[in-house]
Structure 1
Amino acid sequence: MPIPFLASLYFNGYPPWMPEPYRLLKYATAFSAVTLTKWYSSGRHNPAERNMHGRVVLITGGTSGIGAVAAYELARRGAQVVLLTRTPPSDSYVVEYVEDLRARTGNHMVYAEQVDLADLHSVRRFATRWIDNAPPRRLDMIVLCAATMVPPGGRRVETAEGVEVTWMVNFLANFHLLGILSPAIRAQPFDRDVRIVVATCSSYISSPRLDDPLKGADWTPQKAYAQSKLALMVFAKAYQKHLDAYKRPDELPMNAKVVLVDPGYARTPGTRRWLTRGSLWGLLVYLIFYFFSWLLLKSPYMASQSLLYAMMDGSVVRRPGGRLIKECMDVDCARKDVDDEEVAKKLWESSDQLIERVEKQQALKRAKEKREEKRREEEAKRAAQVEEIDSLIGAIKKGKAKENQKKGAKKGKAAGNNAK
């Protein structure tokens, strides 16, 4: 078949059904360009593999986006996955999500615990409950995937505790969580591979300096998000040094490693909210030009490959912690202040002070609310007692009135008989 076809092309020229060579070349070039662009923007696959059976993993942001894929891959490999969710485990969505994850992976060791990263008290309540155990609970990995962002053009939003929400969720809650869980991490046996995987973003490169807090007109959603990611990276590096400085009772080296991961830009709910500016018109534009999002942004599965590499690669244990991984390989940080010890010290101290101040204020507020609730309960109890006494007095009065009526009727009847 090929030989007669080529001979026909040579002697008779192109058949009428065959496109012109120029047009064919044009289509082939366009198709190749799209294919290569998609291949390049999708990133690398995770080349590492690891048996996760029996390992205990705490993960934030495990119900959507990249975190959901990471949670699925961990559960599929047999890990005991504890999803730290904003809503309580009894919430219908969380119940359904956990059941679905168990069914898809065949792993029933998937649970949910409530940790609202916008509430320092919620973080403390979970972390203290986790470490309040003897002997210490097993903990193999902490994966911090949760993040939030205010859409472009949005206004500054504060949590109920008065902290800017981006700074709170992306940095301060993680700082608080790891700070309280430090005893549980340090208490793990030496032969246990303990990893703290921290998801970051390349937006930290454009962040303002950490010693220049955003206030007033300087605050924008972009700057707030970038600064929170820079602070998270500085803290992660400092936290590795904090773990390394600990002297184990058995005098063996510290076995916990902190790994920073930049998964890249992906088609996650957070990115979609950012691109659409949180509006319906923005969503319409996003859907119209969805091809470009598909072409240039990673899928959540491909974006999770660097996270999975950080969780499974064997070299993580053998090499120093605090490394940055992107596209399943080590890369250098683009800013020197990420490794600046003075910057890290100031950030650590200011964060501790902020948490202490906020928690004191909230403790006083909760105590006041508790007193008010107790006072209302006592008032309600007294009101119920007064109402009960009043009803009892009313019943007695009615009884006496009826008795007096009966006596009056008897006296009237007796008087009538005497008159007769």
Structure 2
Amino acid sequence: MGGGGWYELDPLALYAGAKVTLVAEWDLIFVFFGSLSGSLSHEVKSAISVQSNFDWRTVLPYLAYQPSVPSSLSAPDTTTTAAMPVYMAVSGLLDGLDSIPFIWPILKTLPALALLYLLKTFFSGASNTSERNMHGKVVMVTGGTSGVGEAVVRGLAQRGAQIVLLTQHPLGDPFLVEYIEDVRNETDNHLITAEQVDLASLHSIRTFATKWIDNAPPRRLDMIILCANTTTPSKGKVESTSEGVELNWQLNYLANFHLLSILSPALRAQPPDRDVRVIFGTCSSYMGGDLLHITQSSPTPSSQQSSKKSPQSPPKSTATPKQPPTKFSPANAHATSKLALTTFALAFQKHLAAYKRPDGMPNNTKVLLADPGLCRTPGTRRWLTWGSLSGLALYLLLYPLWWMLLKSPAMGAESFFYAAMGEEFTKGTGGGWMIKEVQVRPPLRKEVEDEEAQGKLWKYSEEMVEEAERRGKEVRSKVQREEKESKEEADAVREMEDYKAKVGKKEGKKMEGSRRGKKGNA
């Protein structure tokens, strides 16, 4: 094929009697694409010859569709070939955009689609780029069966970590068994286990944590990730646990305080060269919390529950508070519990750093707080729907909006992955970093770093745990006593029924014997 000449394709070999030719500048393009796809047959290649007066576009559909053209070489369907990307692009270049079907509606839609894509990318948040070898590392996770916690579990398991799930479900529960099996199969990691721990029960937490630390040598523990969370809708009712603690305060804060207070020796006992991390799942709602009822007047839990004054109780502060404490209600319960959790996390880092290791090495446990942002989780859905059916219906109607504005649980887990695998957190002896959008951010409430407020909250929490456990023990004793009495009553009823059955049999035998005696005398 020489440059500058005209080439002819045999009309009988190509196109049902239509004579078409190619210009020299285009023949290389056709031969190139045809040779890539194998679409140029031997007959087509051999039919190219010098000629004039041609329309090269008529051969393009045939060349693109030639592999499926039968041996009779019938003309291709023009309605089908019009949708071919190459044909449409070439037509647009030579004949203008009007030659491309639906081009103007498409061009008008593209800016809107681009805007939606940019908005979705923005609201999805930042992605973690830090990676770390997680094989062999033991990670304890609360709240790991749904929402962001589930995404964290799957992500770390995929990286080879050994996961210990703390869950309220019995170990034989079908849901838990199926969930663990699913994670194992998806991640090809069989080091996924579970321990039954009801975070709504301080007794259950103590039972598990005491069993965990009661081991020699100390068990390996590289990381604790606290994702458990609950939210009471603003129109909901205040709920309490069986030990008399408000549910948000218990699950979001006090359970974590109690668990880490007992597991603290296990963290301090880890080898000095081991990178140990405790990651708290926090929320921006902590900025709306209020701990003035603790930090200003510093009441004990017992003084709140009883009106009787004890001589050992510290006197209440006579100073007028700068701002009255907010009444604890469903509307602010979640925010207050998250504020307490954030304050405790920073205090726990100081507590670990103050410990003097026997080997003289510095503290190797780092505390981090990870804020996943607003995600499409069961807790967020419950909060947005106000816990009502009408709210749920509205949520479903507006779901495209929520899909756009709220992160997926997987994207919410990115800050947790950064906290778990960020290499910069291994350096030095610091800690207490708050992470949001895969970046370290300073706390927006200065009182969370106040040592006096931290000390008052710690003392208040210890007293609350002690009193709640005492109430829980009384409840358990009462339940056990009632169960024992019920069992004794059931045993007495059963013995009475057995006795009546035996007496009935004896009387029946006597009556039968007397009838036989009467018949013999007769």
Give TM-score scaled by structure 2 length.
Answer: 0.72
138, 146, 163: which is aligned to 1:56?
138
Deviation string, structure 1 residues 230-260 (Cα, Å, up to 9, x no partner): 1000001111111111122222112111111
Verify the 8 A CA contact 1:240 1:258 in the aligned structure 2. Answer: yes
Aligned residue in 1 for 2:482: 372
Verify the 8 A CA contact 1:123 1:173 in the aligned structure 2. Answer: yes
Aligned to 1:315, the other structure's residue is in SS state helix
Verify the 8 A CA contact 2:294 2:456 in the aligned structure 1. Answer: no
Aligned to 1:81, the other structure's residue is in SS state strand
1:83 to 2:192 alignment: no
Aligned partners of 2:345, 2:325: CA distance in 1, in Å? 28
Aligned residue in 1 for 2:411: 302
Aligned to 1:260, the other structure's residue is in SS state strand
Letter in 2 for 1:63: T
Aligned residue in 2 for 1:401: 511
Aligned residue in 2 for 1:261: 370
Q: Map 1:335-346 to 2 at 5 A.
A: 335-346=445-456
Aligned residue in 1 for 2:40: none
425, 433, 439: which is aligned to 1:329?
439
| Shift in Å, 1:106 | 1.0
Verify the 8 A CA contact 1:153 1:220 in the aligned structure 2. Answer: no
Deviation string, structure 1 residues 150-209 (Cα, Å, up to 9, x no partner): 123222222222221111111111111111111221221212211111010111112223
Aligned partners of 1:219, 1:212: CA distance in 2, in Å? 12
| Shift in Å, 1:4 | 9.8
1:362 to 2:464 alignment: no
Letter in 1 for 2:204: S
| Shift in Å, 1:128 | 1.9
Aligned residue in 2 for 1:416: none
222, 234, 252: which is aligned to 1:152?
234
Deviation string, structure 1 residues 359-399 (Cα, Å, up to 9, x no partner): 11111221222223223333333443444344334433333
Verify the 8 A CA contact 1:210 1:227 in the aligned structure 2. Answer: no
1:66 to 2:148 alignment: yes
Aligned residue in 2 for 1:381: 491
1:96 to 2:206 alignment: no
Question: Which gives a bigger RCO, structure 1 or 2 (Cα 8 Å, sep 6+)?
Answer: 1
Aligned to 2:198, the other structure's residue is in SS state coil
Deviation string, structure 1 residues 271-323 (Cα, Å, up to 9, x no partner): 12222222333233223322322222211111111100101112222141111
Task: Note closer, same or farther for the CA distance 1:219–1:357 as it changes in structure 2 (3 Å cut).
Answer: closer
Verify the 8 A CA contact 1:204 1:227 in the aligned structure 2. Answer: yes
136, 140, 146: which is aligned to 2:222?
140
Aligned partners of 2:471, 2:344: CA distance in 1, in Å? 25
Aligned to 1:254, the other structure's residue is in SS state coil
Q: What are structure 2's unaligned runs of at least 5 residues? A: 1-25, 27-88, 296-303, 305-323
Aligned to 1:348, the other structure's residue is in SS state helix
Letter in 1 for 2:277: R
1:36 to 2:118 alignment: yes
| Shift in Å, 1:126 | 1.8
278, 287, 306: which is aligned to 2:387?
278
Aligned to 1:211, the other structure's residue is in SS state helix
Aligned partners of 1:66, 1:366: CA distance in 2, in Å? 34
Q: Which has the larger radius of gyration?
A: 2
Verify the 8 A CA contact 1:275 1:282 in the aligned structure 2. Answer: yes
Aligned partners of 2:205, 2:147: CA distance in 1, in Å? 22
Aligned partners of 2:325, 2:130: CA distance in 1, in Å? 46
| Shift in Å, 1:138 | 1.4
| Shift in Å, 1:8 | 6.8
Aligned partners of 1:378, 1:152: CA distance in 2, in Å? 46
Aligned residue in 2 for 1:247: 356
Aligned to 2:267, the other structure's residue is in SS state helix
1:224 to 2:333 alignment: yes
Verify the 8 A CA contact 2:277 2:366 in the aligned structure 1. Answer: yes
Deviation string, structure 1 residues 84-113 (Cα, Å, up to 9, x no partner): 122212111111111111111111111122
Task: Note closer, same or farther for the CA distance 1:15–1:362 as it changes in structure 2 (3 Å cut).
Answer: closer
Aligned partners of 1:230, 1:394: CA distance in 2, in Å? 71
Verify the 8 A CA contact 1:197 1:310 in the aligned structure 2. Answer: yes
Aligned partners of 1:386, 1:237: CA distance in 2, in Å? 64
Aligned residues: 407
Q: Larger deviation: 204-213 or 51-60?
A: 204-213
Verify the 8 A CA contact 1:116 1:123 in the aligned structure 2. Answer: yes
Aligned to 1:218, the other structure's residue is in SS state coil
Aligned partners of 1:136, 1:262: CA distance in 2, in Å? 31
Task: Note closer, same or farther for the CA distance 1:6–1:366 as it changes in structure 2 (3 Å cut).
Answer: closer
Deviation string, structure 1 residues 96-139 (Cα, Å, up to 9, x no partner): 11111111111111112222222222222222222222222211
Verify the 8 A CA contact 1:146 1:170 in the aligned structure 2. Answer: yes
Aligned residue in 1 for 2:73: none
| Shift in Å, 1:27 | 4.6
Task: Note closer, same or farther for the CA distance 1:342–1:4 as it changes in structure 2 (3 Å cut).
Answer: same
User: What RMSD in Å do the two structures reach over aligned CA positions?
Assistant: 2.8
Aligned partners of 1:379, 1:15: CA distance in 2, in Å? 91
Verify the 8 A CA contact 1:37 1:295 in the aligned structure 2. Answer: yes
Aligned to 1:148, the other structure's residue is in SS state coil
Letter in 2 for 1:333: P
Task: Note closer, same or farther for the CA distance 1:380–1:283 as it changes in structure 2 (3 Å cut).
Answer: closer
